[in-house]
Amino acid sequence: MHAGGISQHLDETRAPSAIRPLGEKMAHYGGKPGRFPMPEMMTKENIEDVKNGFINSALNALEAGFDGIELHNANGYLLDQFLTPYTNTRDDEYGGNWENRLRLVATIIKSIKRRVPESFIIGLRISEGKVNNPDYRWEEGHHAAIAILKILSKLPIDYLHVAAESTGWANECLYNNGMSLTGLAK
């Protein structure tokens, strides 16, 4: 997990784009009072460092005897910031369409999978809501969910954890047409 632009403690942060996160730091998360700082846009070198950090963390978990890991691509944190259009306005291979927005997490998962035993579990957590914007939904609704889930279905993950942030599963995982994010994922 990496907080990216919504770190509660850092005065200088990095994110996919130089866009100030919505809302204010959260005292119940131990945050300093006030608005989130304006993050610096991540360079390719920063992105590579983050990728390697996730890979090394998974390898450390394996060495420590864990059965697997779950990548946190949800709730407004860094990997989700790449996925979310209003926090990622990049025009390179990490921005634009859904496949590009998921490129970093896909690369991390594939890199980990190549370096761990087949029995090592890799999970992925996703959500629409954010800790600093719990009412956020993908603009294209279930159409976005279907497009994102199709990309994720091609990744070598063992499970997908669909998370609701704080306003409840029914609010966060159901679409106006009665479809659910979890139902579509299944």
Residues with catalytic function: 77
List the end-to-end C-alpha distance of the chain, in Å, as a whole number.
24
Pairing of strands 14-15, 40-41: parallel
User: Quick one: 70 exposed, middle or buried, by C-beta within 10 A (0-12, 13-18, 19+)?
Assistant: middle
Dist CA 165 CA 131 (whole Å): 6
Q: Which of helix, strand or coil describes residue 24?
A: strand
